[in-house]
A = this chain, B = another copy of it.
Amino acid sequence: MSNLGLGPGREFDRLRGILARLGNAARDIGDDCAVIPDGPGRLVVSVDLAVEEIHFRRDWLTLEEIGWRAASAALSDLAAEGAEVVAVLTGVAVPSAATDEDLYALMAGIGAAAVAAGGVVSGGDLSAGERWVVNLTVIGRARRPVTRGGAMVGDGIWVTGALGGARAALEDWRAGRVPSPLARAAFAHPIPRIAAGVALADAGAHAMLDLSDGLGGDAEHLAAASGVRLEIDLDLLPIHPAVPDVVKAAALPPAMFAAIGGEDYELLVALPPRFRDEDAASFTRAVGLGLTRIGEVRQGSGACFTLAGTPIVIRGYNHFE
């Protein structure tokens, strides 16, 4: 942490406190702008807004976890573009009842997620507010940015990791139960798939997005952006190990539960037909993450799901319904 170079005042004391807490997780803070380091590839940027009572609840998560999760959700958009992390900037509204330590805990969570993903916190803004609001701006660099719009007929549809873990924790909390540690970790401590995104871009991914809204909704987005139809076999879905215990209470087939559940932050990717199971095995050895073929791209529109050979309807989650 360098000399911050701010005048006196409580707001600036808080900024100094944040920087002391962030240590090497922060860089170049305190000017009107942060200067982005030069480098190869295209710069990409994304914004993600998390609002108390909408995206998180203080009685479910610690403020450090809230910071980690908000930052990781944003960083996941860089992963979905095949980008490495360059910089993270925060806009935080702080309730008047919050202590300095509350704010430092939130920022420590953001800083830890930034560093774990290969970035630093490079700037931001603080405001008073009635509720916690955490806006994350993430900037990355991609040799070959992968959009949602390039899926081609014949591509395989693949997904990283396993689905439904975050939703399992939510289901428990909403029912007044304490989530299992595994489910809680999936919700509180998601890992943005940065290395996986870069590896999939290098492997020739045609289209990619992260499963923030759940497979049901996000598969529709990929289909719409690419002008194709996605046919997904839910019997192939990799299901998070926390799901079976929770799903009895939810009275849903585990695969349907996992397909509806959002906020897993795994990657959904269209890979050309030449990408085979042995390539997926190489990917897993290199990145340490599963990669499962769950369907393919056809002519048409929309996302179609089958379970045990029967067509079913899956909806995504969105904040205005």
Contact = CB atoms under 8 A, between A and B. Distances in A.
Contacts of A92: 49
Interface string A274-306: 000000000000000000000000000001000
Interface string A211-224: 00000011011011
A149 interface: yes
Contacts of A224: 5-7
A129 B54 contact: yes
A250 interface: no
A78 B131 CA distance: 28
Main secondary structure on A side of the interface with B? mixed
A11 B87 contact: no
How many copies of this chain are found per oligomer? Answer: 2
Interface residues on A, range: 35 or more
Nearest to A42: B35
A78 B122 CA distance: 15
A55 interface: yes
A147 interface: yes
A144 to B, nearest CB: 11
B148 A32 contact: yes
24 contacts: A6-B221, A8-B220, A9-B316, A33-B78, A33-B83, A33-B145, A34-B46, A36-B45, A45-B87, A45-B123, A48-B125, A49-B125, A49-B126, A51-B93, A51-B128, A54-B93, A54-B129, A89-B137, A91-B91, A91-B137, A126-B319, A127-B319, A128-B320, A131-B131
